[in-house]
Amino acid sequence: MLLGAKPVSQVYLEGHLGAFINSKLVSDEDTLAALANAEEREAEWTRKSSTIMQCKEIFQEMKEEQNCRIPTPDNCANYPVTVRIEKPNIMKEAKRKVENLYRVRSIQTAGQLHLQGEMLTLLAEEEKDISWKATIFKVPRGVMGWAVRAGTNTLATPDNLARWGRPVDPRCNMDGCSSASTLGHLLSSCAKALDRFKFRHDSVLNHLLQTIMKSKNDQMTVYADLNGWRVNGGTMPPDLVLTEQIPDLVIIDRSDTPAKVVLIELTVPWDSANSFKAAEERKTARYERLAGDLRDKGLTTFNLPLEIGCRGVINKRNHLVLETICNLVKIRGRKKLLASLGRIALLGSYRIWLARHSQKWTGGELIK
């Protein structure tokens, strides 16, 4: 299902079901009798792998659900004509049934395949708002293949290589780190790679900042924890409130009374429901006091932790966070912003992946 490519078995079942329904609708009596024979024979199979029985079950469901009209010689005046008219709808419904069957299956499989599944489960849960496909189609071809393999955790990471029976050291390559070198470790949790994670984080942050700067009104002041964007070494102007904390992005909008203050703290975590949740809770708690102090001063305050997954996934909650930011700053093109933030996180992770054998990191200019 990933990338919209159908599994071979789905295409196979789709084809069989089409042929099955077709013969049920238009066959002469001999064919129908042969079909009934095959059904009878295969109904006795103990392993539930008979395609004919599967087709029969689906067709039966279709009759009961009545999402389309299935003609019989008894329920219409001119059977052959009705069949000709209704067949395209029937086939469409059949295809939809198979698709649904596979969707449910792929969610179940994703849940079982713990190692590969975290992100697929997340994507399946977020199905409606999925912007990930849009994101990966925006990266260069080589990176796209990498992204799909990163998404299914099938890259040649040291831990996977070891699992596949290759003689490799499954530990992290970084000096002073002896953790197992999983993809999650490489991309989001190695304590010796913080400079790399900062580079990716700052690239995403900078894009958000630049987008805000293009749309903001004259009454808005914006500070960011990036070179050239700080005030007094931090991001909170001391005349507003004194704090040692440095949220990643602070927007002060004086066009309203009382003024609005938006605190944004960005994390680029491992894309799984658990890490998203953990980051959100940690960051919400971190700025609760600061937000409280601002509210005590009569300012309308938004405390917005934002997570963009390191493999480019943006879940529903973060869609809403970005929507809130877009509404506050009057940014148009929210979808474009979403896709760009996901793309930059993904490209950053790709750079980190390429540098995995090197102790040195030269990030250079932020990714745009």
- β pairing state of 220-224 and 249-253: antiparallel
Contact letters for Zn ion, residues 130-169 (x by CB under 5 A): ----------------------------------------
* Shortest distance, position 201 Cβ to Zn ion, whole Å: 17
> In the bound complex, what is the minimum distance in angstroms from residue 49's beta carbon to Zn ion?
45
Q: Near Zn ion by CB under 5 A, which window of 81-89, 187-195, 298-306, 329-337?
A: 187-195
Asked if residue 190 lies in contact with residue 198, where contact means CB atoms within 8 angstroms, the answer is no
Smallest distance from Zn ion to CB 191, Å: 7
* CA geometry: angle 34, 38, 41, nearest 5 deg: 135
Q: Which stretch binds Zn ion (CB under 5 A): 75-83, 174-182, 307-315, 337-345?
A: 174-182
Is the CB of residue 95 less than 8 Å from the CB of residue 68? no
Q: Which is nearer to Zn ion, 190 or 322 (CB)?
A: 190
Least separation in angstroms between CB 180 and Zn ion: 9
**Closer CB to Zn ion, 185 or 283, in the complex:** 185
Closer to Zn ion at the Cβ: 130 or 187? 187
Which position has the token pair 């010689």? 73
Is the Cβ of residue 172 or residue 205 nearer to Zn ion in the bound state?
172
Number of residues that bind Zn ion (CB under 5 A): 5
In whole angstroms, the minimum distance from the beta carbon of 176 to Zn ion comes to 8
Q: Which is nearer to Zn ion, 109 or 179 (CB)?
A: 179
Q: How far is CA 152 from CA 123, 225, 333, in A?
A: 11, 33, 30
Closest CB to Zn ion among residues 229, 361: 361
By CB under 5 A, name the one of 177, 226, 273, 328 that touches Zn ion: 177
Among the listed residues 172, 205, 212, 314, the single contact to Zn ion using CB under 5 A? 172
Give the shortest CB-192-to-Zn ion separation in angstroms: 5
Smallest distance, Å, CB 344 to Zn ion?
Answer: 23
Smallest gap from Cβ 185 to Zn ion, in A, equals: 6
Which among 173-181, 276-284, 297-305, 332-340 is the span making contact with Zn ion, rule CB under 5 A? 173-181
Residue 338, exposed/middle/buried by CB under 10 A (0-12, 13-18, 19+)? buried
Identity of the residue, 71 or 184, whose beta carbon is nearer to Zn ion in the bound complex: 184
- The reply to whether 190 sits near Zn ion by the rule CB under 5 A is yes
The reply to whether 174 sits near Zn ion by the rule CB under 5 A is yes
Task: Kindly state whether residue 187 participates in binding Zn ion, applying the rule CB under 5 A.
Answer: no
3-state secondary structure the chain: CHHHCCCHHHHHHHHHHHHHHHHHHHCCHHHHHHHHHHHHHHHCCCCCCCHHHHHHHHHHHHHHHCCCCCCCCCCCCCHHHHHHHHHHHHHHHHHHHHHHHHHHHHHHHHHHCHHHHHHHHHHHHCHHHCCHHHHHCCCCHHHHHHHHHHHCCCCCCHHHHHHCCCCCCCECCCCCCCCECCHHHHHHHCCCCHHHHHHHHHHHHHHHHHHHHHHCCCCEEEEECCCCCCECCECCCCCCCCCCCCCCEEEEECCCCCCEEEEEEEECCCCCHHHHHHHHHHHHHHCHHHHHHHHHCCCEEEEEEEECCCCCCCCHHHHHHHHHHHHHHCCCCHHHHHHHHHHHHHHHHHHHHHCCCCCCCCCCCCCC
Question: CB 190 → Zn ion: shortest distance, Å?
Answer: 3
CB nearer Zn ion, residue 171 or residue 277: 171
Q: Which is nearer to Zn ion, 150 or 174 (CB)?
A: 174
**Shortest Å distance, C-beta 248 to Zn ion:** 24
Nearer to Zn ion, 47 or 357 (CB): 357
Query: Where along the sequence are the contacts to Zn ion (CB under 5 A)?
Result: 172, 174, 177, 179, 190
